[in-house]
Amino acid sequence: MKPKHRCISFILWAMLACLISLGGYAQSIDEIQISGNFRNVPLSFFFDTLEEQYGVKVYYKRAWVDKYSVNISFINNPLSRALNSIFVSHELTYEVFQDNSIVVFPRRLDTRSNLEGVDQTLVIGNPINKGRYKRALITGKVIDGKTGDPLPGAVIYNSKLDKGATTGSGGSFKLELPTGEHYLSISFMGFQGYEKQINLIEPGEVEFELFEESHSIGEVLVVADEFNTSRTQMSMVQMSAKDIKTLPLLMGERDVMKSIVMLPGIQSVGELSSGFNVRGGNSDQNLILLENSPVFNTSHLFGFISAINPDVVEDMRVFKGGLPARFGERVSSIMEIEMKDGNEDKVKFYGGLGVINSRLTFDGPITKDKKLTFIAAGRMSYTDWVLKQVPDADISNSVTNFYDLSGKLSYKFDKNNWLNIAGYSSNDEFSTSSQSINNYGNTLFNLESHNKYGEKLNAELNLSFSQYKFRLTDFADGKDFEAYYLDNQIQYGSVKYNLIWHPHPQHNIHTGFNGVYYVNSPGEIIPIAENTVIGQDKLDNENAFEGAIYISDEFDIVPGLTANVGFRYSRFALLGAKTVLLYDDEKAKSESTVVDSLVFGDGEIVKSYGGIEPRLALNWETDGGFSYKLSYQRTRQYISQISNNAVISPAEIWKTSDYHLEPLINDQIALGFQKDNVLRQYTLSTEVYYKQLQNLIEYKNGAQIVMNKHLETDLIPSDGYSYGVELSLRKPDGRLTGWLNYTYSRTMRKTTGEFDEEQINSGKYYPSIYDKPHDLSVVANYNISRRWRVSGNFVFISGRPVTLPEVTYQYAGETLVYYSDRNKYRMPPYHRFDISITFDENLRRKRMWKGSWTLSVYNLYGRKNPYSVYYRKTIADGGTDYKSYSLFKLAVIGVPIPSLTYNFTF
């Protein structure tokens, strides 16, 4: 029997079975609403669920459905809409009989030109997000349904809106439309054109198939859920490369690091710094992952530019709280930066020419089958003339340069299995005087594979390596006998394995393990010349292992209420060889109170720590579009940064937990609320959080950081807490887009030492250096026309706390200074307005070279925001209130800084 005759026979048999089996009233499919979390489950399993839970009879041949799966969640969705969203992802279709029975069969075997009663509407996006967007971008391809070859020059047209698009050489197109119902006509010379009804919910990808005149019409492939994030996830912000591109940033450079400080709960460390503080945490409490490899220093040029090339960034996500169980290692935030895959069509070049650096990127396919692609990028600076405009003499007389290289290879075995290899290298060199030169750089490597084992199980393997080096070269005014190198570095190697298992539509399980090995070299002095009087010296290396296992399950408690429960167990061990000093328990730690020592051999465990890190997240979605979320997490951090916050240069030292220094522990709880379409096109969200921190690091007055062999004698243990309220109002669509974010937060600390030498402010709570209660940011982008765009942003942040001298007095012929309590005073508020105007690239598709111009002004009204304050001896007169010591402010940037950037692609 021929295939099409078998199909007709099957349909007739199924219709007869339906008529016989129905013996009473059954609920109509149009009346049925379903709920469930169907994540990578077999299509047959979905059909079984319909029969068991909703009484819907489904007839099909097992061979037709075995290769298909379902990967979508429903909350009180009409069954007809759910079926439509499922069947547009493959070549099966369905027919409804007797109101509550369904026959499923392949489209290719259907000889009828029209299936009466079948809703052929293509749903683009997740129906759960209906109403969230006003406009959405459709990205797709038109291909030959028989051969799979792209069809360049095919037309996709909406006659009602008189708007359309034409496919390029690779058969690709982009078309932005208002969300809702539309009819699209797809046509190509020599092929049978057709009209397709779509329901556009959110941005998504489609693939239209056209056949020669004698062929029937195929269907489409829809890709939704762009970030594949959990519905219970909260305290997460995400930004695409397109979003970052619209921000008016310093020197016209798109910057993935500086962009996130415009988001609620995230603040900049200071002017010209790529570091950031999340909900009051130190900058070292953020784990920044570039393709899953950590970046230990994220800045170029004193923080003028971040170390991540924006041209290779595909997506960025920052988890401020509600961490999934697979994440650990830091207590404040996790930042994931994903690099682009190379395009599959042809090799392309793009880059930019700016006032302080230039960049070039190229990507494309390597093999003819387009399975192997690459992307490679580089940046290089020429900044000396810019720094001469900075009012601080040390910076304006300095010499600086940097470069960074990044690349990625991607091999796709098939749609479910792929392999990525990524690498990154950077180097900075700067000198603030003729006496010294600073060099530092990152080296990263990552290998990641994704494999699918059946319909219910996926696996991800990740191997990472990261190294950060810093070197200070001190020439000692040309005196070789005093010249030396000062080095420190840290190496990080890890293996991570993650399993994603969907044993049931109501359960989505993640489990796996992480293993990290640290080799930390905190300091080494090396003489430059043979006659140098400064001897070689080296602090002991710190070798340590950190491991973790975890499991989490996301499931629906009741329709509309979803939970994610996870447990993570982490363990840390510091390894020998090492000698540990023991101190008198009745006295504060110092070199004079050493009473004994412990000696550990190679590989011996010096000290270990560990514990359970529970995770809980709840999400309740109502029919009115309201979403309420709650999360709790405990996290541990076994490595910290020891740094002098008063300097701009990257003179930081990393320190692992050890015999005396316990790991940092953070407990955080957060409540959140979100409502889309508030005030027409606006989205409103708010979160409230509270953090309790243990084993924080504080420093004694006059603490020595560099080359300190007994660093524990200058560190003070402390605890702390942070709380805050974050409000965000966003307008994502229309000619005018942007957001307004406001955060009120407090961050307090208290030392826990037993002795007077180990207490700050008599053991009372005091503001952390990152305590900045008010934080307001406003970002607006206005599209004047299709090619002209103007952007602006305004920020206002409370001044950070500072410790100042209060009294000077004379003793034994010396002037002595008495300082205030720690962080008793506060610097003036920080505020700034930036603006930019962009002339985008030519819209003609066939034009090979395309370019755009961006003119931007950083600090438009020339605000002199103080980086630090200090006292200096002056002549006593009326200008100094007749005082010989006066307070001065150092503003790193106190003038408007214009820049012009040209970006190109060909």
Q: Quick one: pLDDT at residue 668?
A: 97
| Region of residue 757 (phi > 0: left; psi between -120 and 50: alpha; otherwise: beta) | alpha
Q: Tens of pLDDT along 743-755?
A: 999 999 999 988 8
221: domain CATH number is 2.60.40.1120
Average pLDDT over residues 833-856: 77
Q: Write down how long the chain is.
A: 906
**Residue 790 placed within a domain:** yes
153 φ/ψ angles, rounded to the nearest 5 degrees:
90, 0
User: What local confidence, expressed as pLDDT, does residue 492 receive?
Assistant: 97
pLDDT surpassing 70 at residue 843: no
* Residue whose pair of structure tokens reads 């601080």 in the numeric block: 392
Which residues are CB-contacts of 738 (< 8 A; sequence separation ≥ 6)? 730, 731, 778, 779, 780, 781
Q: CA-to-CA distance for 334 and 292, rounded, in angstroms?
A: 11
Distance separating alpha carbons of residues 843 and 557, to the nearest angstrom: 50
Query: Higher model confidence: residue 424 or residue 783?
Result: 424
Task: Classify residue 474 by its DSSP letter.
Answer: E
Q: How confident is the model at residue 113 (pLDDT cuts 50, 70, 90)?
A: very low
User: In degrees, to the nearest 5, what angle opens at C-alpha 559 toward C-alphas 557 and 562?
Assistant: 45
For residue 638, is pLDDT > 50? yes
- Cα separation, 251 vs 836, in Å, equals 10
Residue 645 lies in a domain: yes
The pLDDT assigned to 534 comes to: 85
Q: Which helix (H) or strand (E) holds 198?
A: strand 194-200
**Identity of the residue numbered 572:** F
- Residue 112 burial (CB count, 10 A): 12
Encoded tokens for 489: 């570095």
State the pLDDT at residue 806: 79
Omega within 30 of 0 (cis) for the link into 577: yes
The pLDDT value recorded for residue 227 is 35
Q: According to the model, what pLDDT value does residue 647 have?
A: 42
Domain co-membership, 25 together with 155: no
CA 764 to chain centroid: 36
The mean pLDDT of 851-877, rounded to a whole number, is 77
Instruction: Give the integer Cα–Cα distance in Å for 572 and 796.
Output: 40
Please report the pLDDT score of residue 2 as a whole number.
46
End-to-end Cα separation, the chain, in angstroms: 55
Q: Find out whether 768 and 748 touch, Cβ atoms under 8 Å.
A: yes
Residues 257-285 have pLDDT tens digits of: 777 888 889 988 776 566 789 999 988 99
Per-residue model confidence (pLDDT) at position 844: 57
DSSP label at 20?
Answer: H
To which H or E segment does residue 15 belong? helix 3-21
Is the pLDDT at 565 greater than 70? The verdict is: yes
Q: What single letter denotes the amino acid at residue 813?
A: G
Q: Which of 366-375, 411-420, 835-844 has the lowest mean pLDDT?
A: 835-844
Residues 829 and 773 in one domain: yes
pLDDT of residue 405: 96
Least confident span in 143-157, 413-427, 544-558, 605-619: 143-157
User: Strand, coil or helix: what is 312?
Assistant: helix
Residue 642, Cβ density class (10 Å: 0-12 exposed, 13-18 middle, ≥19 buried): buried
- Residue 163 burial by CB count (10 A; 0-12/13-18/19+): exposed, middle or buried? middle
Instruction: Report the DSSP beta bridge partners of residue 697.
Output: 717
Judge whether 874 lies within some domain. Answer: yes
Extended beta strands in 217-356, E state: 236-240, 266-268, 276-278, 286-290, 293-294, 299-300, 305-306, 313-319, 333-339, 348-353
pLDDT recorded at residue 289: 95
Give the rounded distance of the alpha carbon of 61 from its chain centre.
44
Segment 21-44, tens digit of pLDDT = 444 445 566 567 787 777 667 888
| Same structural domain, 90 and 145 | no
Tell me the average pLDDT across 513-525: 95
Alpha helices, DSSP H only, in 209-278? 241-245, 256-260
* Of 93-102, 191-200, 879-888, the least confident: 879-888
Q: How many CB atoms lie within 10 A of CB 582?
A: 14
Most confident of 111-115, 403-407, 783-787, 875-879: 403-407
Q: Select the more confidently predicted residue: 75 or 226.
A: 75
Specify the CATH number for the domain of residue 84. Answer: 3.55.50.30
Residue 534 shares a structural domain with residue 430 = yes
| For range 183-190, the mean pLDDT | 79
In a domain, 89, yes or no: yes
Q: What is the pLDDT of residue 272?
A: 58
Percent of the chain at pLDDT > 70 equals: 81
- What is the predicted pLDDT for the residue at 11? 45
Does residue 128 lie within any of the structural domains? Answer: no
Please, which residues have CB within 8 angstroms of residue 50's CB and are 6 or more apart in sequence? 34, 56, 58, 79, 102
What pLDDT, on the 0 to 100 scale, is given for residue 190?
Answer: 63
CB atoms within 10 A of CB 771: 21
Same domain for 602 and 716: yes
The alpha-carbon radius of gyration of the chain (Å, integer) is: 31
250 lies in the same domain as 372: yes
Name the pLDDT band for 301 (thresholds 50, 70, 90).
Answer: confident
pLDDT above 70: residue 213: no
Q: Confidence band (pLDDT; 50, 70, 90) for 339? A: very high
CB 655 within 8 A of CB 710: no
The residue-averaged pLDDT of 624-643 equals 90
Written as one letter, the residue type at 316 is M
Asked whether residue 175 falls in the same domain as residue 47, the answer is: no
Q: Say whether pLDDT at 7 is over 60.
A: no
Does residue 609 share a domain with residue 742?
A: yes
Tell whether 523 and 641 lie within a shared domain. Answer: yes
For strand 266-268 and strand 204-212, is the pairing parallel, antiparallel, or unpaired? Answer: unpaired
Q: Does the pLDDT of residue 874 top 70, yes or no?
A: no
The alpha carbon dihedral of 641, 331, 311, 491 has a sign of: positive
| Structure tokens belonging to residue 121 | 């509407």
Measure Cα distances from 139 to 154, 157, 371 in Å.
14, 14, 20
Residues 228, 128: Cα–Cα separation, whole Å: 13
Same domain for 184 and 279?
A: no
Domain boundary among 199, 226, 253: 226
β-pairing, 333-339 with 286-290?
parallel
Instruction: Report the pLDDT value the prediction gives residue 812, as an integer from 0 to 100.
Output: 78
As to burial, measured by CB atoms within 10 angstroms (0-12 exposed, 13-18 middle, 19+ buried), residue 83 is buried
769 residue type, one letter: I
- Count Cβ atoms within 10 A of the Cβ of residue 368 and give its class: 0-12 exposed, 13-18 middle, 19 or more buried: exposed
Tell me how many domains the chain contains: 3
pLDDT over threshold 60, residue 90: no
CA angle 716, 722, 728 (to 5 degrees): 145
Residue pointed to by tokens 């973790």: 548
Would you state the pLDDT for residue 320? Answer: 93
**Cβ partners under 8 Å of residue 162, min gap 6:** none
Where does the pLDDT of residue 400 fall: very low under 50, low under 70, confident under 90, or very high at 90 and above?
A: confident
Q: How far apart are CA 788 and CA 797, in angstroms?
A: 31
Domain shared by 67 and 107, yes or no: yes
Among 197, 221, 214, residue whose Cα is nearest residue 146: 214
Query: Rounded to the nearest 5°, which phi and psi values hold at 63?
Result: -65, -25
- Does residue 519 fall inside a structural domain? yes
- Interval 317-330: pLDDT, tens: 899 999 999 999 99
Residue 181 has pLDDT above 70, yes or no: yes
H or E segment and range at residue 85: helix 79-87
Domain residues for the domain of 1 are 1-120
**pLDDT at residue number 157:** 84
The domain that holds 398 is classified in CATH as 2.40.170.20
CA distances from 684 to 94, 781, 795, 804 (A): 40, 18, 19, 41
Strands 57-59 and 101-106 turn out to be parallel
Query: Order of strands across the sheet with 191-192?
Result: 172-178, 135-144, 204-212, 191-192
Please list, in sequence order, all residues whose beta carbon lies within 8 angstroms of the beta carbon of residue 537, skipping any fewer than 6 positions away: 524, 525, 707
Mean pLDDT confidence for 557-586:
93
Select from 226, 259, 281 the last residue of a domain.
Answer: 226
767 assigned to some structural domain: yes
pLDDT of residue 513: 97
**Cα–Cα distance for residue pair 81/62, rounded to 1 Å:** 23
Neighbours of 526 (CB within 10 A): 16
Cα-based angle 716, 720, 721 (whole degrees, multiple of 5): 170
One domain, residues 200 and 323? no
Indicate the helix (H) or strand (E) that contains 575. strand 561-575
Record the tokens describing residue 587, joined without a space: 């006295």
What mean pLDDT is reported for the chain? 82
Give the residue with greater pLDDT, 667 vs 401. 667
pLDDT, average across residues 491-512? 91
Q: Which of 205, 226, 247 is the last residue of a domain?
A: 226
Under a CB-based contact definition with an 8 Å cutoff, are residues 156 and 222 in contact?
no
Digit-coded pLDDT (tens) for 574-615: 998 999 999 999 999 998 999 999 999 999 999 999 999 999
CA–CA separation, 482 vs 428, rounded Å?
Answer: 24
- The answer to whether residue 129 is domain-embedded is no
pLDDT band per the 50, 70, 90 thresholds, residue 306: confident
Q: CA angle at residue 281 from 835 to 290, to 5 degrees?
A: 70
d(CA 257, CA 389): 24
